[in-house]
């Protein structure tokens, strides 16, 4: 039996998903990435757990339910575009997150501690909250940050709709090769 691939994340509201769906339709012709993330799969990762024994899910849920109940909802916003990987052929196109960043970093740190107590290795990298929107640049010419200028303008023009309150943490399961590929396994209300 295969072990589920799990991660903890913060969801977007439906308004942000709808707007990002429209944005993606406008950006795809100008930014040729091989794979665009399905809008139902957009999220802000708190902790990647990886392949997990099914028996561990109840411990994860118990720890996260308590952590979430002791945490307040977060006011977040979508801020700017960026890339990870080679500048000429980035592997990831992302949108950065702003808002209650101290509270978000604290929630991330608490999630790391809770999952470490459940036997998951800590992630020692610096936490960089973002939404992955596309993967693997596939343009004929080298990627240019200038191509993001119109995306930045669209994001700025719709800035009022890019604010939302996160009211839950979700434990997701990945289903590779399926669209959308993430399934909510459990939900943990904040506050």
| Predicted TM-score (pTM) above 0.75 | yes
Domain carrying residue 45: 5-189
pLDDT score of 149: 79
Q: List residues with catalytic annotation.
A: 43, 130
Cα 112–Cα 114–Cα 117 angle in degrees, nearest 5:
105
Per-residue pLDDT reduced to its tens digit, 143-189: 988 877 777 777 777 666 588 999 999 999 999 889 999 999 999 99
Phi, psi for 94 (deg, rounded to 5): -135, 165
Question: How does pLDDT run across 2-60, given as a tens digit for each residue?
Answer: 899 999 999 999 988 988 898 888 888 888 999 999 999 999 999 999 999 988 999 99
CATH number at residue 104: 3.90.1140.10
The per-residue pLDDT for 89 is: 95
Q: Count structural domains, the chain.
A: 1
């Amino acid at each position: 039996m295969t072990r589920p691939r799990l991660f903890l994340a913060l969801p977007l509201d439906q308004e942000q998903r709808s707007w990002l769906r429209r944005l993606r339709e406008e950006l795809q012709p100008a930014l040729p990435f091989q794979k665009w993330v399905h809008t139902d799969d957009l999220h802000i990762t708190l902790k990647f757990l990886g392949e997990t024994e099914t028996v561990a899910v109840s411990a994860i849920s118990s720890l996260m339910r308590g952590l979430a109940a002791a945490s307040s909802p977060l006011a977040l916003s979508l801020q700017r575009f960026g890339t990870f990987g080679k500048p000429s052929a980035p592997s990831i196109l992302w949108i950065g997150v702003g808002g209650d960043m101290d509270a978000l970093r604290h929630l991330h740190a608490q999630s790391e501690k809770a999952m470490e107590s459940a036997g998951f290795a800590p992630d020692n990298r610096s936490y960089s909250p973002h939404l992955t929107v596309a993967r693997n640049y596939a343009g004929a010419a080298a990627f240019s940050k200038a191509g993001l200028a119109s995306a930045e303008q669209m994001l700025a023009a719709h800035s009022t709709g890019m604010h939302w309150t996160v009211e839950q943490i979700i434990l997701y399961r990945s289903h590779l090769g399926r669209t959308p590929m993430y399934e909510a396994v459990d939900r943990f209300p904040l506050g």
